[in-house]
Amino acid sequence: MSASEAVTDTLRELHGRFAGVREGQPADYIPELARAVSDDFGLALVSMDGHAYGAGAADTPFTLQSVSKPFVYALALTALGLDEVTRWVGAEPSGEAFNAISLEHGTGRPANAMVNAGAIVTTALVPDTREAPAFQSILTCLSRFAGRKLDVDEGVYGSEAATGDRNRALAYLIRSTGALPVDPVAAVDTYFRQCAVRVTALDLAVMAATLAHGGVNPVTGERVVSPEVAAQVLAVMATCGMYDSSGDWLLRVGLPAKSGVSGGLIAAGPARFGLAAYSPLLDAAGTSVRGHAALAALSERFGLHLMRNP
C-alpha cells in the first residue's frame, strides 16, 4: 500500500469508528448554529507536500468561529510584532472557559489570544484604515491560509450580532481598563464577522498545514506569514488553544490545536501535517466530540505527539 493510500485508509477507518458517537450538542447560544446537521462528520489531512486527504463531510461548509483566532493572531503579530501585541494580549493559559472574563489583575490585559476576550483585542489590533479596512485584511489573510477565496455566512453573522451581548460586555470591560485600543462595538462587530467566515474541513486542514509548514501554504506555495510568526501562533495554540482543557489535550494528543463552537477543530503536526475535523456535537468545553476523538487517534496513529522521541 502506498503512503497516500495508507492516509486515506486511516481517515476512512477513523471516520467509520467515530461517526456513530452521539454524545454532545450543537452550540445553541448562537441560534443559527443550532440548525447544524448533527450527523455531519468530516476529517481532513494535508501533508507538507500539499496533498489533501478527506473522509466523510470534508467539503461541508460551516463557520470558523474560534478557529479564526490563531489566524487573526498571526495577522496581528505580522503587522505589529510579538512585543507590541503582547502589550495588549498575554500568552498565559487562562484555565477558564472560552467566554470567561480572563483579564489580568491590574492591567486588564486578556490572558491570551485564544479566549474571546483576547481574540477581541487581537482583532482590534489589526490596522484599520479607509484604504485597508480591518475586516478586509482579515478575510484576505484567512483566504491565503486556506488557499482560496473565503466568504462570510451572513446568516450566522447576523445571528451572533443579534445575541452577542456577552462579547460586547467583555469588550466594554476591557475598554474600561484602557486595554482596548479601539471602539468596543466596532471591534466586536469585526470579530463576529471573522467568526462567521465559511470554511470546510479541507480548508481547515490547509490552514493548519500552513502553520505546520512554517507559514508557507503547502498547496499554493504562497508564504502567508513568517516562520517566526507561525511558531509563535503554534506555541499559543499548544498552551491555550483548547481553553481549560489545553493541558489535558497537550498531555494526551501532544499537538497545538484550536476548537470552535460550530464544530471545527484543527491540530498541527509541525513539519508533518495539518489535521482538521468537523462535527457539530460539542462537549461542555465547546469542542467537537467526534473531532476530538478522531484527531487524538490520528496523532497516535502517526506518532505526532510533540514530546515524544520516536
Output the residue with the shortest Cβ distance to ligand GLN.
66
Q: Is 279 annotated as a binding residue?
A: no
Per rule CB under 6 A, count of chain residues that contact ligand GLN: 11
Q: Is 73 annotated as a binding residue?
A: no
Give 171 or 219: the residue with its C-beta nearer to ligand GLN.
Answer: 171
Tell me if 259 sits within 8 A of 241, measured CB to CB: yes
Q: How many residues does the chain have?
A: 310
Q: Is 116 annotated as a binding residue?
A: yes
Q: How far is the CB of 65 from ligand GLN (least distance, A)?
A: 3
Q: How far is the CB of 207 from ligand GLN (least distance, A)?
A: 15
Separation CA 173–CA 184 (nearest Å): 9
Residues 6 or more apart from 268 whose CB is under 8 A from it?
Answer: 208, 209, 211, 212, 234, 237, 255, 256, 257, 274, 275
Question: Which parts of 141-160 interact with ligand GLN (CB under 6 A)?
Answer: 160
Q: Is 99 annotated as a binding residue?
A: no
Q: How far is the CB of 39 from ligand GLN (least distance, A)?
A: 21
Q: Is 191 annotated as a binding residue?
A: yes
Q: How far is the CB of 259 from ligand GLN (least distance, A)?
A: 7
Site track 29-68 with ligand GLN (rule: CB under 6 A), x = hit: ------------------------------------xx--
Distances (CA, A) of 308 to 27, 216, 249, 251, 269: 34, 25, 14, 11, 12
Separation CA 107–CA 89 (nearest Å): 10
Q: Is 243 annotated as a binding residue?
A: yes
Separation CA 105–CA 56 (nearest Å): 46
Q: Which residue has the cell 472557559?
A: 97
Question: Which parts of 236-255 interact with ligand GLN (CB under 6 A)?
Answer: none
Q: Which residue in the set 42, 70, 286, 291 belongs to the binding site for ligand GLN (CB under 6 A)? A: 286
Pairing of β 52-56 and β 257-259 = unpaired
Q: Which residue in the set 261, 268, 276, 295 belongs to the binding site for ligand GLN (CB under 6 A)? A: 261
Separation CA 276–CA 157 (nearest Å): 23
Q: Does 167 bind ligand GLN (CB under 6 A)?
A: yes
Give 114 or 216: the residue with its C-beta nearer to ligand GLN.
Answer: 114
Question: Which parts of 94-113 interact with ligand GLN (CB under 6 A)?
Answer: 98-99
Separation CA 122–CA 297 (nearest Å): 32
Q: Is 160 annotated as a binding residue?
A: yes
Distances (CA, A) of 36 to 25, 60, 152, 244: 10, 11, 16, 25
Give 134 or 216: the residue with its C-beta nearer to ligand GLN.
Answer: 134
Q: Which residue in the set 78, 94, 116, 246 belongs to the binding site for ligand GLN (CB under 6 A)? A: 116
Distances (CA, A) of 291 to 131, 234, 262, 296: 39, 19, 11, 8
**Interface positions with ligand GLN (CB under 6 A):** 65-66, 98-99, 116, 160, 167, 195, 260-261, 286
